[in-house]
Amino acid sequence: MIKVLLFAELEDAAGKRKIELDMADVTVADVRERLVAEYPGLRRIDRAMPAVNEEYAEADEKVNAGDTVAFIPPVSGG
């Protein structure tokens, strides 16, 4: 299982903050695609910065069972 954490507008779009996916030995891009397939409201997730186990990650980074993947949307302020 891979634990996914969503924040701000992504949490609102999915209707939940934490999602568990039955996946293993995939990439961040694979996780992103699965989320959009299961939660169409997350189609804008490609704008979010992914992190694997609290470290920023690229789309081709490997994700293993037991890992936590977070998607952090852009933040703006004034």
Domain ranges, ordered by start, for the chain:
2-72
- Please give the structure tokens belonging to residue 58: 């690229």
Q: List b or e across 47-66, with b for residues whose CB sees 16 or more CB atoms inside 10 angstroms.
A: ebebbbeeeebeeebebeee
pLDDT 10s digits, 10-66: 999 999 999 999 999 999 999 999 999 999 999 999 999 999 999 999 999 999 999
- In this prediction, residue 75 has a pLDDT band, given cuts at 50, 70 and 90, of confident
Q: What is the pTM of this model?
A: 0.93
The domain 2-72 is classified under which CATH number: 3.10.20.30, 3.40.800.20, 3.50.50.60, 3.30.70.270? 3.10.20.30
